[in-house]
């Protein structure tokens, strides 16, 4: 995976890509229902060739000490990230698969909400491009635990908006790791509401 210097250089390159390609200012309503004066369009990174490559490499480094067997998350945000990490792992000869969590179970075929080569009790990491309150991660975690009795090692995100995600996940016994927080882009998060909304 390269030296610490490589990691820092790639992390700074990814930060610049996020700042120039994905960060927008205006009036936005987030998936959590909160309003915001800025928005990070994660698809501008996860569907960009260099951005996705850097993100996959950096997230692999971020979770390398976890005994993870598969990575994935809520469709569609986590899908390209999970695929890229699995492909990089395959190129390195590492056994690391990908999975997809649908918004709801499909009504035909296997009728599953979780798709992918997951065995019962698999050790997994849930992926996010941008995390706010952690609501979508918690939905994915619930589905993984229900359908395959997965051991969720943690959540790994590109950017943490610092708006309750870490606290909400922690309340469910799940650690959050992120490559960046919104402060890395010169933005101060608003004070957390009490209680934190999921």
Q: Is residue 179 assigned to a domain?
A: yes
Its pTM stands at 0.92
- Read off the pLDDT band of 197 (50, 70, 90): very low
Q: Is residue 52 assigned to a domain?
A: yes
pLDDT in tens, 85-125: 999 999 999 999 999 999 887 666 567 899 999 999 999 99
Q: Is residue 197 assigned to a domain?
A: no
Q: Is residue 190 assigned to a domain?
A: no
- In terms of DSSP bridges, do strands 114-115 and 97-101 run parallel, antiparallel, or are they unpaired? antiparallel
Determine what percent of the chain falls in helix, strand and coil, rounding each to the nearest 5.
40, 25, 35
Q: What is the DSSP string of 91-107?
A: HTT---EEEEE-SS--S
Cis amide bond preceding 195, omega within 30 = yes
pLDDT in tens, 114-167: 999 999 999 999 999 999 999 999 999 999 999 999 999 999 999 999 999 999
Q: Is residue 87 assigned to a domain?
A: yes
CATH of residue 158? 3.40.50.2020
Where in the sequence is the domain holding 66, given as residue range(s)? 4-185
Extended strands (E) in the chain: 23-29, 35-40, 70-74, 97-101, 114-115, 123-131, 151-160, 176-181
């Amino acid at each position: 995976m390269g030296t610490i210097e490589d990691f820092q250089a790639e992390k700074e390159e990814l930060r610049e890509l996020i700042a120039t390609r994905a960060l927008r200012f205006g009036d936005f309503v987030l998936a959590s229902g909160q309003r915001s004066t800025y928005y990070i369009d994660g698809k501008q990174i996860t569907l960009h060739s260099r951005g996705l490559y850097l993100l996959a490499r950096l997230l692999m480094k971020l979770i390398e000490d976890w005994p993870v067997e598969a990575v994935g998350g809520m469709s569609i945000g986590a899908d390209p990230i999970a695929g890229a990490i699995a492909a990089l792992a395959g190129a390195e000869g590492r056994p690391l698969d990908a999975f997809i969590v649908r918004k709801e179970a499909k009504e035909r075929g296997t009728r599953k909400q979780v798709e992918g080569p997951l065995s019962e009790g698999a050790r997994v990491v849930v992926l996010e491009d941008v995390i706010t309150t952690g609501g979508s991660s918690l939905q994915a975690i619930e589905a993984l635990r229900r359908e395959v009795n997965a051991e969720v090692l943690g959540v790994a995100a590109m950017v943490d908006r610092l708006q309750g995600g870490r606290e909400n996940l922690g309340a469910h016994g799940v650690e959050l790791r992120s490559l960046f927080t919104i402060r890395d882009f010169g933005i101060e998060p608003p004070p957390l509401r009490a209680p934190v909304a999921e």
